Amino acid sequence: MLPQDVSPSISAVQSLLEGPDDGQPALAALIENLDPAEVRQAWLRSDPVARGRFIDLVREYSRTRIQRFGSYTADLLSQQIQMFGWSIGEKTYGRPLILEPSLGRLTIGRYCSLADPSIILGNHTVRTPSTYPFMTLWFDWPGTAVGGIDHVARDVVIGNDVWIGHQAIILPGARIGDGCVIGAGTIVSGTIPPYSICVGNPGRVRSTRFAPEVVEFLLKVRWWDWPDALVDRFIPLLIGADMHPFIEAVLKDAEVLGLYGLAPEPS
């Protein structure tokens, strides 16, 4: 339900739209101090000519908010991506710490939420008499000229729409499926099935987020591969508390079904 009296918000929005070109500080104050419903209603009742500028300001504000989380990961790690051949999907945000970056390949899907996990792409070998990294510290050890091994490389794969909590550790060789939730401080190894909730040390799958048939549906639909405009149109359902309206809408939507060469069923 929208507020009855939003005249103060209308005035604030109108002043913002008529103000200087750099309206970011005013917009931040407006959004952070007013109820979102008030802001939306005030915008709807403001000058239609200025609404386009308001939308631009909100989009820029959203990018600023993302930067508080550490910006989009592909931008932050662009040099390493180019250097080591990693793949990090669009819209994934956060600032992971990558250990032994030159040893393995890192693959992260789209729309992932990364707090500040540590992702390890290599380990000291345990198959030699010593685990000390003589080869890495070769400048102190002329004997390393004969060759040897002190690290083992293993790739890490993280799927799409994965949420990894604060200070989780992703060990070499881990495979995290689409839609997983990794709890804060969890140590992840091995394969985590899609849409699992994994917590603890060692990390264990405690539950699955949805029933098997729902997981199967989500993996077929792969909403994270949709065009941005289509994702935006489905946002009210993507963040809704009930999965069934989303499923029903997908099965009836010609644009979505067209992505898979299908047509909506006749009503």
Query: Which positions are annotated as active-site residues?
Result: 124
Structure tokens at 134: 């003589």
Would you say how long the chain is, in residues?
267
Q: Which residue has the tokens 């490389």?
A: 153
Angle value at C-alpha 154, between 151 and 160, nearest 5 degrees: 150
Residues 121 and 140 sit within 8 Å (Cβ to Cβ): no
Residues 205 and 174 sit within 8 Å (Cβ to Cβ): no
3-state secondary structure of 78: helix
Q: What's the rounded Cα separation, in Å, for the pair 114 and 69?
A: 9
Q: What's the rounded Cα separation, in Å, for the pair 133 and 25?
A: 51
Q: Concatenate the DSSP letters of all residues of 83-111 into one string.
A: HHT-EE-TT-B--PEEESTTTS-EEE-SS
Q: Which residue has the tokens 């079904």?
A: 257
Report the sign of the C-alpha dihedral through residues 29, 31, 32, 38, in that order. positive
